[in-house]
Structure 1
């Protein structure tokens, strides 16, 4: 029997059950969506299919043959391919396109391979044509665009004769034009018998490109069927397990005075223009899916990337051409990639906490160590950084404590506008609450806070107002008390912004599940 079948898959980690008898199948020549919120079990199920993990129980059958994978190499031999979300991790930047496509073949050869590079180039050119990419096989990966890299990884997967390809958030960093081009390629490959497992939070795209859908929640299949039979609202209902309703919540009080605003801010990377404003003491959120353009907006606000527009702080107009100018005016950024952009990993907590204060901690260009240590100790205690030692190496701290250091270095500066880009990424629940406490304290002091995240529940918990970002544009601005978690997902997934009321009949849902 042709097709891929995962039957009765169980997987636990210690006492935590991640998959509870999951059944999942993919037909030949179809695009099958796999949906679910974070922690639903999608990644674990796909890691089992890709040979990264072994199931505790259950079977995998592909085109009539049963398999038990002990490694990713076994899965590749069986026809499973994976196009990861972070395509740069799957490529060698200093090698050419054709060398990257041939890399798996070279590694798999036990003896020193004797390869015809001419033939490898020809083969690479054919695979590139198959995925609709018109570039030279000799082009270096580091010279390729993100869209080109993604298609190169797809070509690389096809080179191993993959028949079932996992696409993990394939359009997260693509423009609308690039997304349409990718969809055309997927449709063409479908006619050649290639099947796809499509993992995405962009539900509007799921409706456009996918044939069937399986939805997981808490390690269980809660819906399985044709995509065309479900609305976006119904998908969300199955994913979150709650009705799509509106609720009211109390909000914090903040000033009517606008502290920070931007007008016609052009974001070069997304080729979009935005306007936004934040009042004194307000926590404004930016809600968007992965790839919506949040980081690009954050970098443009601090002029980290080439941009144009007007900045207004306390009624004074600015134009910036560098982060130095933006920082001097009172803007600071707590970046998403704290270890790469927010810390000096080889330095101490003391150095990292006081780096923005050196002008007040020096005399005749010499750092006053005693004063520096006292200042750092005050911040360590105020932020409850553990271990509570300024001389500790920052790279040895947990993610949550590192994040406190990134925030802490701005607390004794003249910063008035605090921009947080995915501030709780990679930190535990307790650390999140501590970071939230710091953010609320900043707002209570009259600072303007901008909180950008794809963690929608966090945004509802902490924000006063929320901007919704889709494809680099701010498409809606609402009070946080007037929108629900489900509505945030709906709007950020490209749902109809004019849809005022969403209804979902409980009995219809029960009938759908039972059928």
Structure 2
């Protein structure tokens, strides 16, 4: 029997059941969408298929043969390929295209008897299959575009004769033209009998490229069938009945606009944005992975060179760097806190006071007592655990790390705080603590911009919500009038068809 079948898949993390009897079937030579909201179980199911996790129960059958995968190597040998979303993490940037494509073959067959000429011919053939014949084999991967890197990783997957390939948010960082090229390549490989499992939140793309779909919700299959289902019904299957947790924290609504951007050009998405935030207002930006939220945040603080206007307290700003934005009173709490927001090998004290050195220094010498007193006050007010100023940040939980990232701005002159996915990787209790800090800042008259893919968070905390799709703000909504289902529908591109 041809095709891939996962039957009655069950998986638990401790007492939490993530998959509860999932049946998943991919036919030979089809593109099958795997849909669901964050936490639905998609990643767990695919990690089992890729050999990263072992299921609590269930079976995997490929072309009529039963398999048990104890490692990713087992899955690859059975014909399973995985093109991950973070392609840079899966490639060797300093090595050539040739070396990256052959990387798995070198590991699997270190004593390959092919001559170098035959190996290069083999790689060329793979690159032609994925539409990269124009790229030199000797090109360092680090000089390639993101789209080219994605196809290089796909060529590597095909080098192992993969017949069922997982594509995880494959167009999240691609332009429309690059997306068209990717889809054309997928269609060509389909004809050759290759099947794809396509994971995406972009429903308009799912309808363009996929043949069938399976929708997961809370670890169970709620729909399997044709992709011709109306987008509204797909969204309804994905979200189910959601609690409408509203922002009930009333604040005085000021009419004073603190920060505004007009026709701000975002180079990566090639779009322009208009956005305004008032004193004491929390403005939410709702967008999926790859919608352009981080690029917007970085453009607002002059992390990239761009055009358009930035106005702070109605005065036009000509910032040339993030340093200029910070000195003017605009700061960014980045999504990647460990890479961009913290000195991981330093103490809580050093991280909390790094923006305030001029306040705690005399004659270019840091006054240790002032530094300790300031850090201790912030640790107490933010309820950072452990409470020792000498604790290393790298040993803190994600939630406490995030509180440190926020805390270092609290004693500065910042009037505008931009939060990019501020609850990423933290638990429910820590989220509520972060929400409390943000509300307190708004109550003090700070202007807050909150960018996230979590709709429920925006309904919980925002006053105004903008929806971002493909780098554009397509809609502005009063948060009190928004619904979870409508936000999901708009974010997935339902309103742009």
Distance 2:116 2:304 in 1: 39
Distance 1:300 1:23 in 2: 44
Distance 1:14 1:478 in 2: 40
Aligned twin of 2:403: 404
Aligned twin of 1:198: 198
Distance 1:70 1:44 in 2: 15
Aligned twin of 1:239: 238
Aligned twin of 2:128: 129
Distance 1:124 1:294 in 2: 36
Which stretch has the larger CA shift, 441-450 or 34-43?
A: 34-43
Indicate the SS of the match to 1:43.
helix
Q: CA deviation at 1:318?
A: 0.8
- Map Cα deviations across residues 136-167 of structure 1 (whole Å, 9 max, x no partner): 11111111111100011111111111111111
1:52 aligns with 2:52: yes
Aligned twin of 1:511: none
Q: CA deviation at 1:496?
A: 2.3
Aligned twin of 1:442: 441
Aligned twin of 1:13: 13
Aligned pairs for 1:90-101 (under 5 A) are 90-101=90-101
Aligned twin of 1:331: 330
Distance 1:89 1:331 in 2: 31
Distance 1:377 1:98 in 2: 54
Q: CA deviation at 1:306?
A: 1.6
Indicate the SS of the match to 1:308.
coil
Which stretch has the larger CA shift, 7-16 or 475-484?
A: 7-16
Distance 1:252 1:486 in 2: 26
Aligned twin of 1:510: none
Contact kept, 8 Å, 2:247 with 2:460, in 1: the verdict is no
Which stretch has the larger CA shift, 286-295 or 68-77?
A: 68-77
Indicate the SS of the match to 1:291.
coil
TM-score by length of 2: 0.97
Aligned twin of 1:485: 484
Q: 1:497 to 1:183 in 2, by over 3 A?
A: closer
Contact kept, 8 Å, 2:245 with 2:459, in 1: the verdict is no
Distance 2:188 2:20 in 1: 35
Aligned twin of 1:177: 177
Contact kept, 8 Å, 1:34 with 1:213, in 2: the verdict is yes
Distance 1:44 1:388 in 2: 35
Aligned pairs for 1:201-212 (under 5 A) are 201-212=201-212
Which stretch has the larger CA shift, 247-256 or 296-305?
A: 247-256
What 5-or-longer segments of structure 2 have no aligned partner? none
Contact kept, 8 Å, 2:247 with 2:463, in 1: the verdict is no
Q: CA deviation at 1:455?
A: 1.0
- Map Cα deviations across residues 466-494 of structure 1 (whole Å, 9 max, x no partner): 11111111111111111111111111111
- Map Cα deviations across residues 268-291 of structure 1 (whole Å, 9 max, x no partner): 121111110000000001100000
Contact kept, 8 Å, 1:254 with 1:282, in 2: the verdict is yes
Aligned pairs for 1:71-470 (under 5 A) are 71-109=71-109, 112-113=111-112, 115-133=114-132, 134-228=134-228, 230-242=229-241, 252-470=251-469
Distance 2:471 2:370 in 1: 44
Aligned twin of 2:30: 30
Contact kept, 8 Å, 1:247 with 1:483, in 2: the verdict is no
Contact kept, 8 Å, 1:252 with 1:464, in 2: the verdict is no
Distance 1:25 1:327 in 2: 52
Contact kept, 8 Å, 2:251 with 2:280, in 1: the verdict is no
Q: CA deviation at 1:248?
A: 8.3
- Map Cα deviations across residues 412-436 of structure 1 (whole Å, 9 max, x no partner): 1110000000001111111111110
Contact kept, 8 Å, 2:283 with 2:462, in 1: the verdict is yes
Distance 1:103 1:348 in 2: 39
Q: Alignment RMSD, CA only?
A: 1.7
Q: CA deviation at 1:114?
A: 5.1
Distance 1:66 1:456 in 2: 40
Contact kept, 8 Å, 1:288 with 1:468, in 2: the verdict is yes
- Map Cα deviations across residues 351-410 of structure 1 (whole Å, 9 max, x no partner): 111111111111111111111111111111111111112122111111111111111111
Distance 2:168 2:495 in 1: 25
Indicate the SS of the match to 1:496.
helix
Indicate the SS of the match to 1:225.
strand
Aligned twin of 1:507: none
What 5-or-longer segments of structure 1 have no aligned partner? 499-515
Distance 1:178 1:470 in 2: 17
Q: CA deviation at 1:241?
A: 1.2
Indicate the SS of the match to 1:17.
strand
Distance 1:302 1:148 in 2: 29
Distance 2:314 2:22 in 1: 57
Q: CA deviation at 1:31?
A: 0.5
Contact kept, 8 Å, 1:295 with 1:421, in 2: the verdict is yes
Contact kept, 8 Å, 1:247 with 1:481, in 2: the verdict is no
Aligned twin of 1:474: 473
Aligned pair count reads: 495
Indicate the SS of the match to 1:381.
helix
Indicate the SS of the match to 2:92.
coil
